[in-house]
Amino acid sequence: NLSELTQRLKTRLEADESGGPSDGWVLLGQTYMRMARYDDAADAFERVTVRDNADISTLLLYAEALIAAENGIVTPQAESVIERASEMDPDDPGPIFYRARILEQDGVPDEARTLLIERLKRADRAYPWMELFLSVANRLGEQVGESPVTLADFFPDSRDARSPGAADIEAAQDMSVEERSAFVRSMVDRLAARLLDDQDNLEGWLRLAEAYSVLGDFDAAQNAADNARTLAESLPETDPMRAAATARLDRINK
């Protein structure tokens, strides 16, 4: 029972005199997100964001949970978290994407589109996150009378790459929690590079496997899942983190 496993993990983390490992709290938060328990997810992620080792990915997960808890509205609290992530790396696509959402919410879609377009211009090559940037930028462009853009506008050698069509633009118009979460997970290049130097990071491998699965790169997803499973199986059988991780891996493999 996932609810029972989740409660056991929370109890174990809360009982840890050192505050509980960061990857444990992130795992708990991710599980709550899948259960649509967004307030609980935000509480779990917040535990990590106040620590010295908090990174952009965790801050964006926290912001996403706060936004989901408010039915898609970027609250002042979520905005402050996004700003903190932006301060860590102003050019990271994640904070930029959310800043564009804030601008759109504030009624300035032209500025939101410009923010996305300018980041696309600065990219050194094509990345998975660009698909969503293009889709949202084109939806915003329709509102302000701008012509659609494609990946080939930024990378001429990518003319065969799939560009967002009308269906993509329509789908992005009212982005769901799942789509925004998929965007966060789609920034896999940075996470994959980080894991090369942090190969014992169970939560990192789980997130990488999920992200690759979303992208349809199932071979890479399986490789990341295998690494995660090896780490999970090294935990004691009575450790709730092992059971929770295994449950997530089973969902990835379905």
Type of residue found at 122: R
Q: Max alpha carbon distance in the chain (Å)?
A: 59
Q: What is the pLDDT of residue 87?
A: 96
- The DSSP-derived string for 110-159 is HHHHHHHHHHHHH-SS--TTHHHHHHHHHHHHHHHTPPP--GGGT-GGGT
Q: Is the pTM of this model over 0.85?
A: no
Phi-psi region at 84: left, alpha or beta (left = phi > 0; alpha = psi -120 to 50): alpha
- Residue 181 domain flag: no
Q: Is the distance from CB of 48 to CB of 60 less than 8 angstroms?
A: no
Q: What is the pLDDT of residue 245?
A: 80
Instruction: State how many domains the chain has.
Output: 1
- Residue 82 domain flag: no
Report the 10 Å Cβ neighbour count for 195. Answer: 18
- Residue 4 domain flag: no
Q: What is the pLDDT of residue 187?
A: 62
In this structure, what is the dihedral angle of CA atoms 25, 87, 69, 131, given to the nearest 10 degrees? -100
- Residue 248 domain flag: yes
Q: What is the pLDDT of residue 14?
A: 95
Long-range contacts: 205-213, Cβ < 8 Å, 24+? Answer: 205/231, 206/27, 206/30, 206/245, 206/248, 206/249, 207/30, 207/57, 209/249, 209/252, 210/185, 210/248, 210/252, 211/185, 211/186, 211/187, 212/188, 213/252
Q: What is the pLDDT of residue 168?
A: 44
Expressed as residue numbers, the domain containing 243 is: 190-254
- Residue 227 domain flag: yes
Instruction: Name the residue among 196, 205, 195, 194 with its Cα closest to residue 230.
Output: 205
- Residue 250 domain flag: yes
Q: What is the pLDDT of residue 166?
A: 40
Q: What is the pLDDT of residue 2?
A: 81
Q: Is the distance from CB of 208 to CB of 191 less than 8 angstroms?
A: yes
Q: What is the pLDDT of residue 179?
A: 55
- Residue 171 domain flag: no
Q: What is the pLDDT of residue 161?
A: 40
Instruction: Report d(CA 54, CA 57) in Å as an integer.
Output: 8
Q: What is the pLDDT of residue 140?
A: 93
- Residue 30 domain flag: no
pLDDT in single tens digits along all 254 residues of the chain: 788 889 999 999 999 999 999 989 999 998 898 888 999 999 999 999 999 989 998 999 999 999 999 988 999 999 999 999 999 999 999 999 999 999 999 999 999 999 999 999 999 887 778 878 888 899 999 999 999 998 888 877 654 344 333 444 444 445 555 555 555 545 667 778 788 888 888 888 888 888 777 666 788 888 999 998 898 888 876 666 777 788 778 877 66
